[in-house]
A = this chain, B = another copy of it.
């Protein structure tokens, strides 16, 4: 059992259920505040760059701005939103390695001075459009052990980066450090060890050539509480900081982390309603449960059943009594194997078919189905109007305030 599941405040949820139609996402800002403070505590002295793409709602960004967080952006659109919320550009890094030159210029004109890079062409763009900026170079990682792995889309091999780093100075840039990302929802802490060792190698190689790197961006990958258990945040932090200490016993580098899912994932609960329950064939032992939330309406991370959210229904017992029932759904009451699917006419819009969730046998049309830990990568992924359905709406509460 990892970090305790921060369950949303149920009175807020019950109020929402009584007033707005499903599907919707309820985000508890109090959970995000607690998580931020916890991250500060377990990663002392580490700069926390919130990965805006995980949940770009102004309510979330405003809260983190007030808490003093830094922000990592993937596009100029995210930059505009942050600046609109009066976030100082000095607290923003442009972490996408795939950038148009005009977008780099746009960010530079607005004061952004930190950029990620992993290719010669991108670095030359930065040199032209954002002269003198500070660059962190992204090391390619395998991402094994991650529920939502990172493939080879980002980063480059250390040898390629070595050449880039030395070239950076000649181009008038400041090669400040390195970054890597072990994959989102990374369940193998050892993955950080390997990447930090790559950093050590590059720090040494660059120093020999007279270039001192001074920063390591440890990326994201910190987990949310999904169906499969993970270790606690304190264990992650302790191990990761120990890896750094071992590889950098003197002159410790400046450290950044970029939590996205790890910051907001557990703060969301997606409420849906059962639309239909059917059986395709007299001999089928499982039923099809169709709900009004689907793959293209916020639950895209169920693609390939990558992310397995904890699921609750209001049939099990009263809402108030469900707080203890999260991972270990009581088998004796949840004795119906189901395929869970969304409401659209698209055959791809199936949430879980291979992993058979067990739901109460008396589940009925109109009952609610709740997906926990849906605070990250849900609303922003939602389709514009697939099958005509509107995008997933989000409501924000602050569970630390009275309901």
Chain B hits for A191, CB < 8 A:
none
Q: A379 is contacted by which of B97, B183, B292, B384 (Cβ under 8 Å)?
A: B384
Within 8 A of B (CB), among A41-55: 51-53
CB pair B154 A278 closer than 8 Å: no
CB pair B347 A153 closer than 8 Å: yes
CB pair B347 A119 closer than 8 Å: no
Stretch of A195-203, A209-217, A388-396 contacting B (4+ beta carbons < 8 Å): A388-396
CB pair B388 A349 closer than 8 Å: no
Q: What is the 8 Å Cβ interface bit string for chain A, positions 272-283, against chain B (1 contact, 0 not)? A: 010111111110
Within 8 A of B (CB), among A141-167: 143, 148-157, 159-160
Q: A386 is contacted by which of B95, B154, B160, B381 (Cβ under 8 Å)?
A: B381
CB pair A151 B350 closer than 8 Å: yes
Size of interface on A: residues with Cβ below 8 Å to B: 77
Q: Provided the pairs A100-B292, A388-B56 are in contact, do residues A280 and B157 lie with their beta carbons within 8 angstroms?
A: yes
CB pair A81 B153 closer than 8 Å: no
CA of A343 to CA of B165, assembled, Å = 23
* A288 part of interface (Cβ distance < 8 Å): yes
Chain B hits for A53, CB < 8 A:
344-346, 386-388
* A122 part of interface (Cβ distance < 8 Å): yes
- Shortest A152–chain B CB gap in Å is 6
CB pair B278 A118 closer than 8 Å: yes
CB pair A365 B121 closer than 8 Å: yes
Stretch of A3-11, A70-78, A239-247, A320-328 contacting B (4+ beta carbons < 8 Å): A70-78
* A290 part of interface (Cβ distance < 8 Å): yes
Chain B hits for A379, CB < 8 A:
384
- Shortest A340–chain B CB gap in Å is 11
CB pair B391 A384 closer than 8 Å: yes
CB pair A380 B381 closer than 8 Å: no
Chain B hits for A275, CB < 8 A:
98-100
Chain B hits for A381, CB < 8 A:
296, 383-384, 386
* A302 part of interface (Cβ distance < 8 Å): no
Q: Provided the pairs A74-B388, A280-B160 are in contact, do residues A153 and B96 lie with their beta carbons within 8 angstroms?
A: no
- Shortest A163–chain B CB gap in Å is 9
Q: A388 is contacted by which of B52, B278, B383, B388 (Cβ under 8 Å)?
A: B52
Chain B hits for A385, CB < 8 A:
56, 77, 380
Chain B hits for A281, CB < 8 A:
140, 156-157, 159-160
CA of A387 to CA of B122, assembled, Å = 19
CA of A384 to CA of B380, assembled, Å = 6
Q: Mind listing 5 A-B residue pairs with CB under 8 Å?
A: A53-B344, A121-B277, A121-B278, A154-B347, A383-B384
| Given A99-B275, A382-B383, 6 new contacts (CB under 8 A) | A53-B388, A119-B276, A159-B282, A160-B279, A183-B347, A384-B391
* A-B pairs with lowest CB-CB distance, top 3: A77-B388, A119-B278, A78-B388
